[in-house]
Structure 1
Amino acid sequence: MLRPVVVGLDGSRESLAAADWAAGEALRRGLPLRLVHAWVGLSSDASQLPELEAPRYWARRILRGAMDQLSERHPQVYLSAEQIPRPAVDALAEAGADAELLVLGSRAFSGFGGYMAGSVALATVARATRPVVLVRADRTPEDEHLPTAAGLPSERTPYCDVVVGVDVSHPCEELLAFAFESAALRNAPLRVVHAWHVPFAPPAAVATMSAAAEQAAEHALADELRPWLEKFPNVQVRTLMENGRPAQQLLHAAQDAGLLVVGRRIRPARLGTHTGPVAHAAMHHVHCPVAIVPHE
């Protein structure tokens, strides 16, 4: 059975942009698209209360409107829609567990010069066991493509690079599988970013230790990428290695990307809901769609 692409809808501009991106991704992957709207007022125990009729009407309208819009723009995609009578985070986490990937809108917030993903998106990402993609409200399909020779936006030009952040000290097959597949589906170059650092050393030994650390990182990254280069021979791969903080290097590399892919380690429940510093920075500050891939 095919896993669908699932998108969470709440009627916001962010969620509608996410739905449009999700439809395009479902088409690229040859998968159905499932629209999900969560509303606690849908409880069967309260189904006859007249005061819930207006909220129920608007909930149905959100799904109908999205279905009409997506059917017109992406007629080839098989669509389904469902209202789930549960709190948003619970409903999205459950729907995402059976999905190929879950797509959510990500809210912009300009007050601090960055972006705020929104509490529902953040909480859902922290609980997800399948990849989650966050999409900004102002993203358009043209933004995934290179501009024309005249500098104009277009959906007919090649795709922008897919960027993935890799930590060679914690190899992750799920992360690279998602990144390589995403690049292959778009016929887009894959930019692999790895940040290495020099351990504390006396000033006289810094240059030697720096060269050794860089060489070790190069060898480790080459070893990790080798099987994926063999599996995806048509994906053009470029590696970027810098001495510095991983989050900072990744944010810089993703400025002109069409998609950024980062990993998130699944932690035991007793440790709380954490996303990790790199994924956290990407969710808050990267403008392109961000895919967060959970892994052990």
Structure 2
Amino acid sequence: MDDHVTAGIDGSPESRAAALWAAGEAVLRRVPLRLVHAVDWPLDPVFPGVGGQDADRWADQVLSETAQELHGRHPQLEITTRCPTARPSAALAAEAADAALLVLGSRGIGGLVGFLVGSVALSTVAATDTPVVLVRTADAAPDGRDTGTDAGGGAGAGAGAGIVVGIDIHEAGDRVLDFAFEEAARRGCPLRAVHGWKLPPAYSYVPFSDPDDEREIGRSVTRMVEDMLLPWRQKYPEVAVTSSVFRGSPGERLVQESRGAGLVVVGRRRRRSPLGPHLGAVAHAVLHHSAAPVAVVAHG
């Protein structure tokens, strides 16, 4: 039953940012918020003398303090808490199963470098089909203030800034586009669709390329992008949509477009690897270098 937003918290500044962002999103969606703190027991030996009761007590304190802060910002928001005992990535993936959205914190490392995405976040993203948003401490205050609303509603969470979505004409991206358009409609903000293309591999064996051929390929790709966007333009006529079709790396362009954006949306193929969590090259680049919060939507 995907009628709520879930935020994973652990007492860190990054998780506080995630809780603030998630609260703003829950208000926008007019759904409850669930705060989850997973207690990983037994604890690491670097914490000698810390028992299960201590860990549970600390987790309860983190949850209650976070919920209290959010209630102060959003008196109308229904907030529940959960404290499962399990590996964080497994617990968060399980909690995400019946949620509309999972929000996690990720450490920002400054400048244009962007995110430091830890193993828990990567494992959780790879383990759930629920859309996951990663935020940093800076993302809790996109307009210079903490994310929040007054008692009458409305939200921060980058609500006034535009949304950027990366699309791939070679993939079935319905879930990605539906998420991006719905978020833009919810926020009343513009949406920019980005697609990068490359010349076919056979061109690497040709001593010279015909500029006319390249232009024709570009026009053909542009038409396919517009055809892909058309049903969503019709479904969400209130959303102002622009598209950017170019020859080059989509990951680099999405990172550039992320500056000043309220949210970047990327897709990932549902794929399980025996070597562990796997993200595509574009999602990986955006997750690590985006200047805005990133939503990862599973598809395929």
Aligned CA-pair RMSD: 2.5
Quote how far apart the aligned CAs of 1:237 are: 0.2
Partner of 2:212 in structure 1?
208
Contact kept, 8 Å, 1:136 with 1:287, in 2: the verdict is: no
Contact kept, 8 Å, 1:101 with 1:131, in 2: the verdict is: yes
Q: Following superposition of structure 1 onto structure 2, how do residues 181-192 of structure 1 map, counting pairs within 5 Å?
A: 181-192=182-193
- Segments of structure 1 that go 5 or more residues without pairing to the other structure are 44-48, 146-153
Partner of 1:16 in structure 2?
16
Quote how far apart the aligned CAs of 1:137 are: 1.3
Contact kept, 8 Å, 1:255 with 1:286, in 2: the verdict is: yes
Partner of 1:242 in structure 2?
246
Quote how far apart the aligned CAs of 1:271 are: 6.5
Quote how far apart the aligned CAs of 1:233 are: 0.3
Partner of 2:181 in structure 1?
180
Q: Please state whether the residue corresponding to 1:139 is helix, strand or coil.
A: helix
Contact kept, 8 Å, 1:197 with 1:213, in 2: the verdict is: no
Deviations 1:87-144 (A, max 9, x none): 1011001111111010000112359944311111111111121100000012234439
Quote how far apart the aligned CAs of 1:170 are: 1.0
Aligned residue type for 1:237: V
Cα separation, partners in 2 of 1:280 and 1:2, compared to 1, 3 Å: closer
TM-score using structure 2 length: 0.87
Say whether residues 1:125 and 2:129 are aligned partners: no
Question: Which stretch of structure 1 is more off in the superposition, 30-39 or 263-272?
Answer: 263-272
Q: Sequence identity of aligned pairs in percent?
A: 42
Quote how far apart the aligned CAs of 1:270 are: 4.1
Say whether residues 1:232 and 2:236 are aligned partners: yes
TM-score using structure 1 length: 0.88
In structure 2, C-alpha distance between the alignment counterparts of 1:109 and 1:205, rounded to whole Å: 42
Aligned residue type for 2:116: M
Partner of 1:64 in structure 2?
64
Q: Please state whether the residue corresponding to 2:210 is helix, strand or coil.
A: helix
Q: Please state whether the residue corresponding to 2:51 is helix, strand or coil.
A: helix
Tell which has more relative contact order, 1 or 2 (C-alpha 8 A, sep 6+): 2
Partner of 1:254 in structure 2?
258
Count of residue pairs the alignment pairs up: 282
Aligned residue type for 1:55: A
In structure 2, C-alpha distance between the alignment counterparts of 1:285 and 1:241, rounded to whole Å: 21
Quote how far apart the aligned CAs of 1:216 are: 1.0
Q: Please state whether the residue corresponding to 1:179 is helix, strand or coil.
A: helix
Q: Following superposition of structure 1 onto structure 2, how do residues 154-165 of structure 1 map, counting pairs within 5 Å?
A: 159-165=160-166
Partner of 1:286 in structure 2?
290
In structure 2, C-alpha distance between the alignment counterparts of 1:112 and 1:255, rounded to whole Å: 9
Quote how far apart the aligned CAs of 1:242 are: 1.4
